[in-house]
Amino acid sequence: MNLRSIVLSLVMLASLAATSTVVKKAPLTTIPQGVRVNGIDVGGMTFAQVESVLASRMKKQGQEVITVTLGEKKFPVKPSQIGLKIDIASVIEELKSHFGGTYSLWRRGVLKKWAKRGYYVLHTPVIYNRSEIHRIFSEMQKGVESPPKNARLDLINRKVLPSENGQSMDLAGSIARFERIIQNGGDAMKARMYKIVPRISSQALKDLSLKTVLGWYETSFPSWGKWANRAHNLKVGGARLTGTVLLPGKDFSFNDTLGPRSAKMGYRVAPVIALGETVDGMGGGMCQIASTLFAASFFAGLDIIHGKPHSQPSHYIDLGLDATVFYPSVDLVLRN
């Protein structure tokens, strides 16, 4: 081997040694500066320190109340109510996937440069009970919603009683907004409300003539002693019916107008006819209202879409003019 070959071999060995030094890999001692998790700068921390910081944040967040505002009302929601937790293990695994390996000097430099430029902004997955959130917001919705009121007629004073808009909460939209709050952090939100327009507006009735009576019928009832509850029910149901407007081509449903016969709706227990026998039942007396309406509608020439007579004659109305109703299965339906 000549001197030239020896020198060339030494140069190659030196080159290999230099290359070996350059490609030597090592782990990062801490997370690079600029890395953020849930808005927290975790640069310069170890994985264990990040876990500790996030655990403290989760404990604090678990004590914070999120206030939901609906119109003039405020509803506090505690994190414990919805099982709110932060998935710390998941974000630590993600950090390790970016910075937990061994890297060349060049690669470590690249990671640090990217971190400073804000390339690593992570969010801790939030765990919560979605069905419980839906239940809570459904209860809120019940507390703020109000049905619209159709324009009605005051037949005594011959004038139109104005309509009123109703309101309710946008359940799906409000829940979506709440979930963004708990995922991104925050202690307050305003729920979405929407307006419910009545089916019959005051404007629709402004030119209506109230001069001609097309049909009428009347029945009488006792209001003393054992009949007191029945008389009360007649007044409650009659108040819901009075002033109702049935526009041309439209249908009227007795059950939809008077609603469920329940104590919540103001009704009391009174005698009703069931299976051919007189027994006590909630909302007793509604059949007399239905029968009186049936007779008046018949003489007014309205179409009787659905009407069912009693199983036995009624003492308050002539045979053939009565109509039985039972919420929600047996209804009286009329068409103008």
Instruction: Going residue by residue through the chain, which has 336 residues, state the pLDDT in tens, using 9 for 90 and above.
Output: 554 444 434 444 444 444 444 557 888 889 999 899 878 889 999 999 988 988 887 777 777 789 999 888 899 998 889 988 888 888 899 899 888 888 888 988 888 898 888 888 887 788 899 999 999 999 999 988 999 999 988 878 888 889 999 999 999 999 999 998 887 777 899 999 999 999 889 888 887 777 788 899 999 999 998 899 999 999 999 999 998 989 889 999 999 999 999 999 999 999 887 777 788 899 999 999 999 999 999 999 999 999 999 888 888 999 899 999 999 999 999 999
> pLDDT, tens digit, for every residue of 3-54?
444 443 444 444 444 444 455 788 888 999 989 987 888 999 999 998 898 8
Q: List phi, psi (to 5°) of 126.
A: -105, 130
Instruction: Name 73's bridge partners.
Output: 70
In this structure, what DSSP letter does residue 327 have? Answer: T
d(CA 231, CA 124): 63
Burial of 186 (0-12, 13-18, 19+ CB in 10 A): middle
Compute the distance between CA of residue 93 and CA of residue 101 in angstroms, rounded to an integer: 12
- φ, ψ of residue 183 to 5 degrees: the values are -80, -35
Edge-to-edge strand order for the sheet containing 73-77? 73-77, 66-70, 188-190
Amino acid 218 reads E
pTM, entire model: 0.60
Angstrom distance (rounded) from CA 279 to CA 239: 25
Specify the 3-state DSSP secondary structure of 319: coil
Matching residue, tokens 């910081």: 53
